[in-house]
Structure 1
Amino acid sequence: MKVVHVVRQFHPSIGGMEDVVFNIAMQLHLHAGIGVDVVTLNRVFTQSDVLLPCTDKYQGVSIQRIGYRGSSRYPLAPGVLRMLDKADVIHVHGIDFFYDFLALTRVLHGKPMVVSTHGGFFHTDYASRLKLLWFNTLTRLSALAYARIIASSESDGALFSKIVAPSRLRVIENGVDVEKYARCGASEAGRTLLYFGRWSMNKGLLETLQLLAVLYVLDPRWRLIIAGREYDYDQAALVYEVDRLGLSEQVDFHCSPSQSQLRFLMEQAQFFISLSRHEGFGIAAVEAMSAGLIPILSDIPPFARLHRESGLGVLVDPLQPQQAAVAVQGLALQVDTHFIDWRSQAMAFSDRYHWRYVIGCYQDEYCRALGLSSEQEFLR
């Protein structure tokens, strides 16, 4: 079997979707013997002046890149059709141009397709009415061309159940590379928060700084490390907000850290914080727990589930910084007593998301798209 993954951003771009695609590709190749290619765009959105090679390899994964026009929100790349000849199954990632275009051209390429939702396109409130109209019309219509719809979270499953028949919809929560940062967190209790990920508006970074300002009044030991890559916010914009709040001594920035650098930053932290307004799943939170960090999260469905099932950390309302700070300070006082046990529990909980437990679900979906049982595919 040959699976071609189609995704708008991949290596060297860094992000949750990129990480998921890479791990699926690696697991399929290494443990299932399935051939894999990744088709993606030839520019990273945050470095759009740099043209990437048309063909490439990343840790053994073959990459084919194509040009595009238009914005990063809906990049137009009809050249994707030239990259599909060898595919037995096409796996589209995200609800974007590729999703709509490959549905529209299904009669031309003739390949069975599956799609992973990755949160859809409701990550921010931008153009929310237009998005809802689009979802209920074009997204619904395009879904008819897909053999299988893979919802990346329970919340995605609930959303897409409104436009997709239950027989074609399955929730497969993302696997997580829980070995990458395993046991990297601080080994002693303290008051350091770590955020890592894109510096985008929906991640609640400004609200995180406002929360820190209140926490600092309650306990001057609190500090915050913000790591990741510039997106909606650049470092200058965040530094401006830090200075405005009088927190220049409490906040450290690390732009585009390597994995080894991020491990070093984790060694300084006891808590992971993410006050996101929307997440398809919340990979970073699980990665942080694999390091032994205690989660401080916004009360959104995927985070609420992590909190409920792990019994660790605290959920807060980012729009109520005073109440949130009291809750976080209360958590920290408990962590002082239970740090070693809770650190171990966080790491143990994260193991349930290991890719070894997830990859077989994707294999099953590819076989269903081809009209095969798993046993038939094994015998091919």
Structure 2
Amino acid sequence: MKILHVVRQFSPSVGGLEDSVLSLARIQRDLLGLDARVLTLDRLFGETDRLPASDIVQGVPVRRIAWRGSSRYPLAPNVLRHLGDATIVHVHAIDFFFDFLAATRWLHRRTLVASTHGGFFHTRALGAIKAVWFQTLTRLSIRAYERIVACSYSDAQMFAPIAGRRLLTIENGINQQKFHAASAADPTRTLISFGRFARHKQIDLLFPLLARLRTSGDDWRLIVAGRPADQSEADLATAARAAGVTDAVRFVIAPSDEELKILFGQSSYYACLSQHEGFGLAAVEAQSAGLIPVLSDIVPFRRLADQTRIGIVRPAADLDAIAHDILALHDSGDAALRALRSHAIAESSRYDWNDVARRYTELYGAIYPASGRSPAHVPLDAVREGNPS
């Protein structure tokens, strides 16, 4: 079976969406006997340099195509030229690809599956427009898909009213070996944040949180690792300066996985006070490293804490309470903190990408015979390339 994963951003971009698609495609190729490939855009958002049109990432063939327009809704109608002989086209996230491949199914006749990855409600910006879009165009596009896979239970709640019987839930997993037990073996007073510098992540709240922690000792530190998105390093540095913690914050831009492991080895806590997450992949990866999570009180984080019985979960705005909980936990002693580290590592094993990939493969096998369509070759002149931005 030939699977084409279609996603707007992929390696070398860093984020939960990118990691999820890579893990799924890699395991499908290496362990499950599927010919899984990735189709993505040829530029990272916020950058001007084009990436190679063809690539191999951890054994997964990647094709990159031109696009134009906004990163909020990047236009790439030339996607139809690159469907090849895919048995199933698996679209990741709700964006142009999701809508366009639905609208043109009469032409390409591929079996379509989509994974939600949080939909497009990661920020409150344009909330009214997004709500109308979701209830109209997204609802209409869903009809072209054999299945809509919610990547989290919060996504399932969001999509249930418009997806109906097409909806099922397969929570994301993590690469169990990627950061396994990488955190500091002996407790430290260092928190780490890693991932995209995006406004909905509310990284800027970590600086006043750090200021509160440092009232009990100036050895508290914060590492902010990741890649700029709609916030820059300069934006975050300004926020750190405003909180008076510049000397206690270290920024690490676009670290590799090996560099992240080194940073984890200096840390005992993972902090994320995000407004919205589809699943919270980074929080699970942090637990696999043995980091104690400090999280905002949103549905996926609350569910994670309930399932794993570890971590601090508070409303993001209640920095005093969060700081109090961290200090109380740290004062419980080294033995207790080492036990929590071991518990975090053990509990993360329930989120295993091998099992997730197997469930997707079973889904493909169940829906393909039922699709009732044979793939059609799309002529090269069926859609115009357009002028990429």
Shift of 1:46: 2.8
Counterpart in the other structure of 2:45: 45
* Distance in 1 of aligned mates of 2:308 and 2:9: 31
C-alpha separation in 1, matches of 2:55 and 2:349:
32
Indicate yes or no: 2:93 matched with 1:94.
Answer: yes
**What are the Cα deviations for residues 269-326 of structure 1, in whole angstroms up to 9, with x where unaligned?**
0111110110000111111111111111001011001111111111122212122211
What letter is aligned with 2:36? V
Distance 2:317 2:9 in 1: 32
Q: Which residue of 2 aligns with 1:23?
A: 23
Which of residues 357, 360, 380 in structure 2 aligns to 1:359? Answer: 357
Q: Distance in 1 between matches of 2:79 and 2:333?
A: 51
Secondary structure of 1:208's aligned partner? helix
Contact 1:89 1:369 in 2 (8 A): no
Following superposition, the deviation at residue 337 of structure 1 comes to: 4.1
> 1:309-365, CA deviations, whole angstroms, 9 ceiling, x for partnerless residues?
111111122212122211221222225340121111100011111112211110122
Give distance in 2, aligned partners of 1:277 and 1:39: 29
Aligned pair partner of 1:286 in 284, 287, 302:
284
Deviates more, 1:276-285 or 1:53-62: 53-62
TM-superposed deviation, 1:372: 6.2
Cα distance in 2, alignment partners of residues 106 and 335 from structure 1? 60
Q: Is the 8 A contact 1:178 1:286 kept in 2?
A: no
Q: 1:8, CA displacement in angstroms?
A: 0.6
Measure the CA separation in 2 of the matches of 1:219 and 1:189.
Answer: 15
Shift, 1:57, TM fit:
1.3
The alpha-carbon deviation at position 218 of structure 1 amounts to: 3.1
Local SS of the residue matching 2:161? coil
Q: How does 1:1-380 map to 2 (within 5 A)?
A: 1-47=1-47, 49-165=48-164, 167-334=165-332, 336-371=334-369
CA contact (8 A) 1:208 1:318 kept: no
Distance 1:121 1:335, change over 3 A: farther
Identify the residue that residue 378 of structure 1 maps to in structure 2: none
- TM-score with structure 1 length normalisation? 0.95
Take 2:158 and 2:66, find their aligned partners in 1: how far apart are those partners? 31
Q: Give ranges in structure 2 of 5+ residues lacking alignment.
A: 372-389
Query: SS where residue 188 of structure 1 aligns?
Result: coil
Do the aligned residues in 1 keep the contact of 2:312 with 2:322 (CA within 8 Å)? no
Percent of pairs with identical residues: 45
Cα distance in 1 between the residues matched to 2:12 and 2:312? 34
**Alpha carbons 1:313, 1:331 under 8 Å: kept:** no
| Distance (Å, rounded) in 2 between the aligned partners of 1:122 and 1:284 | 18
Q: Distance in 2 between matches of 1:293 and 1:146?
A: 38
Change in Cα spacing, 1:342 to 1:3, as seen in structure 2 (3 Å) is same
- Cα deviation per residue 1:38-74 (whole Å; 9 max; x = unaligned)? 1111111132x21122222112211111111101110
Q: Which runs of 5+ in 1 are unaligned?
A: 374-380
Check conservation: 2:3, 2:87, Cα contact below 8 A.
Answer: yes
Q: What amino acid maps onto 1:183 in structure 2?
A: A
Whether contact under 8 Å (1:116, 1:150) holds in the other structure is yes
Residue matched to 2:378? none
List per-residue Cα deviations over 1:145-183 (Å, max 9, x = no partner): 000000000000011001011x31110001111211111
- C-alpha displacement of 1:77: 0.3
SS at 2:46 equivalent: helix
Moved over 6 A (4+): none
Contact 1:186 1:270 in 2 (8 A): yes
1:105 is displaced (CA, Å) by 0.3
Structure 2 counterpart SS, 1:57 = strand
| Rounded Cα–Cα distance in structure 2 between residues aligned with 1:245 and 1:143 | 45
**Displacement of 1:219:** 3.3
Secondary structure of 1:113's counterpart equals: strand
Go from structure 1 to structure 2 and tell me whether the alpha carbon gap of 1:177 and 1:259 turns closer, same or farther (over 3 Å shift): same
Letter of the 2:204 counterpart: L
Contact 1:316 1:327 in 2 (8 A): no
Q: Deviations over 1:169-198 (max 9, x none)?
A: 110001111211111100112211010111
- Following superposition, the deviation at residue 261 of structure 1 comes to 1.0
More RCO (CA 8 Å, sep 6+):
2
**Post-superposition CA distance 1:249-274 (Å, at most 9, x none):** 21111111111111111010011111
Quick one: which amino acid aligns to residue 87 of structure 1? A
- Mapped contact 2:151–2:278 kept (Cα < 8 A): yes
Whether the aligned pair in 2 keeps the contact of 1:27 and 1:359 (CA below 8 Å) is: yes
Q: Which residue in the other structure is 1:376 paired with?
A: none
Tell me how far apart the structure 2 counterparts of residues 2 and 297 of structure 1 sit (CA, whole Å): 39
Q: CA offsets per residue over residues 186-229 of structure 1, 9 Å max, x none?
A: 01122110101111101111111121111211333311110011
The 3 A distance-change label for structure 1 pair 176 and 335 is: farther
CA distance in 1, matches of 2:91, 2:131: 21
Q: CA RMSD in A?
A: 1.3
Farther-moved stretch of structure 1 (138-147 vs 317-326)? 317-326
